[in-house]
Amino acid sequence: MKRFDDILNAASPRRASGFIDGSMAVAIFAVLLVVFLVVSTLYGYGVFDDEEQKKVSYFDLDKSTLARWDAQMSCGPAGTSPEFEVSRSLWVGEDVVLLERGSYKRFFEETDNAIEIPGELPFRFEWWFGHIENGMIEVSGWYNEGNDVVKKVSFSGRRIEDQVSFAGRRGPRRCEVKATPADEGADE
């Protein structure tokens, strides 16, 4: 049986002759890497910024502050279904972008305010909501059309002055959306 002094001496830094052995160096590097990643992630989320950044919730959104923008959505093919292009109306504010079509209110009723998303819903809807921060846009949402299967929407892009452009997935398709403020004289 080893004595306490023997165990203590074996773990002593003197045993490494003043140098850190390889496993200790790897452990120190790993700890420093984790600290760096945590701090950089928190910095990216604005934790260390002077101003507290709060993203507005869809349910707290004052829609009267939004302006209607005309959008063109171009989507690539999916399986045997061809590519397509459609016009949409987006609602854009200083820091949000929104699309509401069809029975989107029923979507919220049926999904406990988009918390419990089922695989299918027996009505047509489309709902996207996104945040604009420092010119960058992140949009997510849900839709179904053509059948009852509920599909996810996930876009990212940029806002530069009076133009927004984002791309990503809309269900099985890769899509791109470009929008500008609607002509105020045009009929809605």
Beta strands in the chain (DSSP E): 67-75, 84-92, 96-102, 125-133, 136-144, 151-160, 163-170, 173-181
For the question of whether the overall pTM of this predicted structure is more than 0.85, the answer is: no
Contact 148, 129 (CB under 8 A): no
- pLDDT (0 to 100) of residue 186: 55
Residue with tokens 């919730």: 57
What is the reported pLDDT for 40? 57
pLDDT tens over the chain, length 188 residues? 555 555 555 555 555 455 566 777 777 777 766 666 655 555 444 444 444 456 889 999 999 999 999 999 999 999 999 999 999 999 999 999 999 999 999 999 999 999 999 999 999 999 999 999 999 999 999 999 889 999 999 999 999 999 999 999 999 999 999 999 998 765 54
CA distance 143 to 114: 12
